Amino acid sequence: MLDDFKISVVIPAFNAEQFIDRSIKSVIRQSYLPFEIIVIDDGSKDRTVEIASSYEKVCCLKQSNAGASASRNRGIFEAKGNWIAFLDADDEWLPKRLELQVELLKRHNELKWVSGQYIVCRRNIERARKQLHPDVIITDGSVEAIKAIALNNALSTCAMLIRRDILLIEKGFNENLEVGEDLDLWFRLGRSHPLIGYVEEPLFCYHRDNVNSLVQQTSLSLNHSRGVADVEKRWNERELYSEKYKLIIEKQCINQLESMALSAVNTGNYHRVSNILEFSRRHEIPLNHSMIKKKMRVPSWIRFFKYTVIRMIHQCFYFLHVKLLQRNPVE
């Protein structure tokens, strides 16, 4: 039975000397041990390779800097296991991550991929838990993958355990995409494998402290571009799905664009607002233009005051949360 779950762990790493030790240890300490651990060093200039290579159980492969997608794809290609689990070099798995997923897969051997909850952390303090949208119903340990992705993107790369053969069929992550390469792959897998297993317990900690990571760098510099690119891709491909999923994807695209536009209004970035409205007209996405323009007519000082006060209140609650929980860091 163990041979049915030979799990290869793929960890892309770039200048991760501060965190790679923590991530590797979180894999080694799993209650269900993986078949192999593969670290893909993506052209690091620090001690990432030295630290990763110090572990006897780790296979460290070096390459020129090519990005997270190319690194993960190389890991998939080099893997000798029949299941692939992903972990970013600055995050960490919780001890039963693999055990909980393997147990679920043993109960439902028709499933080809599985995900689950995760914890968002800052300074090792739990800040939030990423859960499924309320409209996504768990039935017999699984959910509709496309619905879970489209409604609130609750499926994270670091919580994924996927059959290697179906990743190879889909040719892995699209290396031509600067952003949204994970969503692109999940949507493709969702078309061929509609159901994904889902563990209703946290599986890993997503640490938001490392601004130098491959994922964080992309998110910080291309957040707006990523949002527009994601919407455009999903909108253009919505006809590939059944009518039920098509309507869900259309609604999600509209909500995301309106949220981006209102955020730009609140920060006074009218150029961005105009770009979003023009984008929606060009692609015939039915945004509520009148509502957005009405918000724009509110005097800028009032918007700035409301935006600033809300941010201050949010920060106060966050620091209070940290003070209350700093004696109980995530184990």
Segments forming the whole domain that contains residue 25? 2-210
Structural domain contains residue 96: yes
% residues pLDDT > 90 (the chain): 48
DSSP state of 94: -
Residue 198 sits in the same domain as residue 232:
no
Residue 150 sits in the same domain as residue 263:
no
Q: How many Cα atoms occupy the beta-carbon half-sphere of 17 within 13 Å?
A: 10
- Count up the domains in the chain and report the number: 2
Structural domain contains residue 328: no
Among the listed residues 316, 311, 328, the one whose alpha carbon sits nearest the alpha carbon of residue 126: 328
CB atoms within 10 A of CB 90: 24
| pTM listed for this prediction | 0.76
Residue 63 sits in the same domain as residue 195:
yes
Q: How distant is the alpha carbon of residue 72 from its chain centre?
A: 14
Amino acid identity of 129?
A: R
Q: How many whole angstroms separate alpha carbon 331 and alpha carbon 324? A: 16
**pLDDT higher at 120 or 129:** 120
Q: How many whole angstroms separate alpha carbon 46 and alpha carbon 177? A: 26
Spell out the alpha helix ranges (H) of 108-200: 145-152, 164-169, 181-192
Structural domain contains residue 326: no
Residue 162 sits in the same domain as residue 107:
yes
- 122: CATH: 3.90.550.10
Structural domain contains residue 127: yes
Span 143-164, pLDDT tens digits: 999 889 888 778 899 999 999 9
Among the listed residues 253, 216, 219, 215, the one whose alpha carbon sits nearest the alpha carbon of residue 233: 253
| Count of residues making up the chain | 331
What are residue 125's DSSP bridge partners? 122
Spell out the alpha helix ranges (H) of 267-327: 270-282, 289-296, 300-325
Residue 36 sits in the same domain as residue 146:
yes
Structural domain contains residue 169: yes
What does the buried/exposed string (b/e) look like for 291-325 if buried means 16 or more CB atoms within 10 Å of the residue's CB? ebeeebeeeeeebeeeeeeeeeeeeeeeeeeeeee
Among 184, 210, 236, the domain-final residue is 210
- Residue for token pair 């762990």: 9
> Are 253 and 234 spatial neighbours (Cβ–Cβ below 8 Å)?
yes
Q: Per the structure block, which two tokens stand in for 62?
A: 């070096």
Span 64-99, pLDDT tens digits: 999 999 999 999 999 999 999 999 999 999 999 999
Span 270-327, pLDDT tens digits: 778 888 888 888 888 888 777 776 666 555 555 555 556 766 776 676 667 656 655 5
Residue 271 sits in the same domain as residue 165:
no
Amino acid identity of 66?
A: A
CB atoms within 10 A of CB 75: 23
Residue 183 sits in the same domain as residue 245:
no
Structural domain contains residue 318: no
List Cβ<8 Å contacts ≥24 apart for 270-274. Answer: 270/296, 272/224
Residue 206 sits in the same domain as residue 237:
no
Residue 111 sits in the same domain as residue 249:
no
Is residue 213 pLDDT above 60, yes or no?
Answer: no
Confidence of residue 63 (pLDDT cuts 50, 70, 90): very high
Residue 57 sits in the same domain as residue 175:
yes
Angle (deg, nearest 10), helices 289-296 and 243-266: 10
> Are 149 and 187 spatial neighbours (Cβ–Cβ below 8 Å)?
yes
Residue 205 sits in the same domain as residue 249:
no
Expressed in percent and rounded to 5, the helix, strand and coil fractions of the chain are: 50, 20, 30
Structural domain contains residue 246: yes
Structural domain contains residue 215: no
Residue 234 sits in the same domain as residue 115:
no
